[in-house]
Amino acid sequence: MHIRVLSEQDVRSVLTMGNAIDLQAEAFELLAEDQTVEGLRSFAHSSTPPGVAIFNPAFLKDGKGYGVKIVSDFYGNEARGLARLSSIITLLDGITGYPKTVMEGGHLTDIRTGAGTALAARFLARRDSKTIAMIGAGRVARNQLEALCLEHEIEEVLVSTRSPGRGEDFIRRMRGVTGVPNNIQLIDDRTQAVSAADMVVCATTSSEPVLPGNALKPGTFVVCAGAHNRNSREVDNAAVRRAAIHVIDSRRDCLPNAGDFHIPAVEGEFDISCVTELADLVTQALPARKSNADIALYKSMGVPIQDLITAQFVEQRAIDNSLGTLVDIGGGEI
In this structure, the answer to whether residues 85 and 217 fall within a common structural domain is no
Domain contains 215: yes
What are the residues facing 54 on neighbouring strands? 43, 71
Q: What is the pLDDT of residue 273?
A: 94
Task: Enumerate residues 6+ apart whose C-beta is below 8 A from 295.
Answer: 216, 218, 219, 220, 221, 222, 239, 242, 243, 244
**pLDDT averaged over the chain?**
93
In this structure, the answer to whether residues 119 and 94 fall within a common structural domain is no
Q: What is the pLDDT of residue 253?
A: 81
Structural Rg of the chain based on CA atoms: 20
Domain contains 121: yes
Domain that holds residue 83: 2-108+305-328
Rounded mean pLDDT of 201-217?
A: 95
Q: How far apart are CA 230 and CA 30, in angstroms?
A: 27
What are the residues facing 307 on neighbouring strands? none
Rounded mean pLDDT of 51-65?
A: 93
Q: How far apart are CA 21 and CA 303, in angstroms?
A: 14
In this structure, the answer to whether residues 212 and 134 fall within a common structural domain is yes
In this structure, the answer to whether residues 298 and 310 fall within a common structural domain is no
Three-state SS letters, the chain: CEEEEECHHHHHHHCCHHHHHHHHHHHHHHHHCCCEECCCCEEEEEECCEEEEEEEEEEECCCCCEEEEEEEEECCCHHHCCCCEEEEEEEECCCCCCEEEEEECHHHHHHHHHHHHHHHHHHHCCCCCCEEEEECCCHHHHHHHHHHHHHCCCCEEEEECCCHHHHHHHHHHHCCCCCCCCCEEECCCHHHHHHHCCEEEECCCCCCCCECHHHCCCCCEEEECCCCCCCCCCECHHHHHHCCEEEECCHHHHHHHCHHHHHHHHCCCCCHHHCEEHHHHHCCCCCCCCCCCCCEEEECCCCHHHHHHHHHHHHHHHHHCCCCEEEECCCCCC
Per residue in 123-169, pLDDT (tens digit) is 999 999 999 999 999 999 999 999 999 999 999 999 999 888 999 99
In this structure, the answer to whether residues 171 and 182 fall within a common structural domain is yes
Domain contains 205: yes
pTM, rounded to two decimals: 0.92
Domain contains 334: no
Domain contains 266: yes
Q: What is the pLDDT of residue 130?
A: 98
pLDDT band at 202 (very low <50, low <70, confident <90, very high): very high
In this structure, the answer to whether residues 206 and 129 fall within a common structural domain is yes
In this structure, the answer to whether residues 164 and 278 fall within a common structural domain is yes
Domain contains 312: yes
pLDDT band at 284 (very low <50, low <70, confident <90, very high): confident
Q: How far apart are CA 138 and CA 130, in angstroms?
A: 22
Rounded mean pLDDT of 305-333?
A: 95
In this structure, the answer to whether residues 33 and 93 fall within a common structural domain is yes
Angle at the Cα of 109 from the Cα atoms of 101 and 150, rounded to 5 degrees: 120
Q: How far is CA 111 from the centre of its chain?
A: 8
In this structure, the answer to whether residues 158 and 96 fall within a common structural domain is no
Rounded mean pLDDT of 212-239?
A: 94
Q: Residue 279: what residue type? A: A
We report the CATH number of the domain holding residue 260 as 3.40.50.720
- Yes or no: say if 4 and 328 are a contact pair by the CB < 8 Å rule: no
In this structure, the answer to whether residues 55 and 149 fall within a common structural domain is no
Rounded to a whole number of angstroms, the distance between the first and last alpha carbons of the chain is: 12
Q: What is the pLDDT of residue 291?
A: 92
- Which helix (H) or strand (E) segment holds residue 19: the answer is helix 17-32
- Three-state DSSP at 328 gives strand
We report the CATH number of the domain holding residue 42 as 3.30.1780.10
Rounded mean pLDDT of 259-264?
A: 95
Task: Enumerate residues 6+ apart whose C-beta is below 8 A from 113.
Answer: 140, 143, 144, 225, 300, 302
Lowest mean pLDDT among 65-69, 189-193, 255-259: 255-259
Rounded mean pLDDT of 3-16?
A: 97
Domain contains 333: no
Q: How far apart are CA 112 and CA 209, in angstroms?
A: 25
Rounded mean pLDDT of 259-271?
A: 94
Q: How far apart are CA 167 and CA 158, in angstroms?
A: 10
| In the chain, % of residues over pLDDT 70 | 99
In this structure, the answer to whether residues 266 and 141 fall within a common structural domain is yes
Q: How far apart are CA 20 and CA 313, in angstroms?
A: 9
Q: What is the pLDDT of residue 38?
A: 66
Domain contains 119: yes
Total structural domains within the chain: 2
In this structure, the answer to whether residues 281 and 316 fall within a common structural domain is no
